A and B are shown apart, each in its own frame.
Chain A
Amino acid sequence: MAAAACHRWAQLRPITFSVTANDYGAELLTSTPIETDASLIRRLMARQDLGADLLASLNFSEVARRQFRDIARIAGLVFQGYPGARKLERQLQASSGLIFDVLREYDPRNLLLEQARREVFELQLEETRLAQALEELETRTLVLSRVESLTPLSFPLWAERLRSQILSTESFQERIQRMIDRLERRAARG
């Protein structure tokens, strides 16, 4: 749900989010200053076009790349040797991330890539349940509050930030520029 909300938000302007979600809630974190109001939240949580937005949000996320790690191992693309057996020749080692990139570049219709996308869709996003949840949310009252510190329910999210995913509609160049600027500012501070 967070991914879909992010995607919708990101359609309004190029922005990069760090997204964390658990059973109680979701956190969208960004360095761009943002304004929130009730109508925006309602729009992000709308049922309309849910499937399409979910799919679209997958295209620019790193989720599939992560899912690919398991797939690459099972398919024998990344082989680390049997327990106790001689180590594989070093020149045959490559990380699943590297293989994912190479496949996407030179073999975009590869079945294993397709499987990674499908697994993400089925395992991590259950579209029907999500639609039901959103439907129920529409009937509920929306309370928007600014909190001074972490609340009991938000604390686990903060603790789980290590597992967050990055969703972005900024170009790679814009993102690098932002990171370089950040270093620049830091260097200036000495």
Chain B
Amino acid sequence: MGDDTLSLMLAGESMVLDAQRALIWPAQRTLFIADLHLGKDEVFRQSGIAVPEGGTLADLRRIDALIVAHAVERIVLLGDFLHAAPRGAPRYLQTFRDWRATHGDLAFVVVAGNHDRRAAGRDLTDVVQWQSNEWLCGPFVCRHLPATSPQGFVLSGHLHPVIKLHGSHRERARVPVCWLRAGCAVLPSFGSFTGGGEIAPAQDDELYAFAANRVWRVPRRS
């Protein structure tokens, strides 16, 4: 494996982080991603804000690449699958259906996030498997909101975690990270039209940064 992936152990399972802001569980051929915010560009356009097209399809292509690279058979989306409850018949739903049709064997599990409140269990029910709140998957508890659980190691999203790296003087870069806390991992947001919120990690937390097509282990003071 090159620089674009990084192996680590979570809950006794060997896992892989991919530079495309995704977590893979090779033993179960499962791909975990968080905060796809599908159709966000279109929601903006419907409201008269002129952002360009392309993001939705580009994100699905990135998932395609991950499926091929890691022989993925199941995708678990940790919330905020759609950016907003679809009004009418927006094109991104069709784009997603078309994409889904090309992956017949793939399981697609969505744990509903706050952006999915209204769409969960109502839209796209024929092509995705909606789960509300929590879903158990081996030693993992898949959720949208970060938390700890007696039932297992939590995989979550929601925060779009970002840290600021400092160079010399005023130079800095904001980079998305995977934030590992005790009993809980917070995945970075996968969608390309998503911002991020800076986090305040505790001393023992581990951070993995995603930048310049690589995964970087962020050294922490111990």
Contact = CB atoms under 8 A, between A and B. Distances in A.
Contact of B193 (A102, A107, A183): A102
A153 interface: no
Contacts of B170: 18, 29, 161-162, 164, 166
B53 A106 contact: yes
Contact of A106 (B54, B165, B169, B220): B54
A180 interface: yes
Interface residues of B, number: 40
Interface in A59-98: 75-77, 79, 89, 91-92, 94-95, 98
A128 to B, nearest CB: 30
Given A30-B168, A99-B51, A102-B55, A172 B218 contact: no
B212 interface: yes
A37 interface: no
Contacts of B169: 18, 29, 31, 161, 164
Contacts of A42: none
B44 interface: yes
Contact of A190 (B171, B193, B211, B221): B221
B55 A175 contact: no
Contact of B212 (A110, A172, A190): A172
Given A92-B49, A183-B165, A176 B175 contact: yes
Interface residues on A, range: 35 or more
Contacts of B166: 179, 182
Interface string B200-213: 00000000010111
B195 interface: yes
Contacts of B55: 102, 106
A122 B165 CA distance: 32
Interface string A133-167: 00000000000000000000000000001101010
B12 interface: no
B209 A176 contact: yes
Given A110-B52, A176-B173, A91 B115 contact: yes
Given A110-B52, A164-B170, 12 more contacts: A16-B171, A18-B171, A29-B169, A30-B168, A76-B48, A76-B49, A92-B43, A98-B195, A106-B52, A171-B212, A175-B171, A179-B167
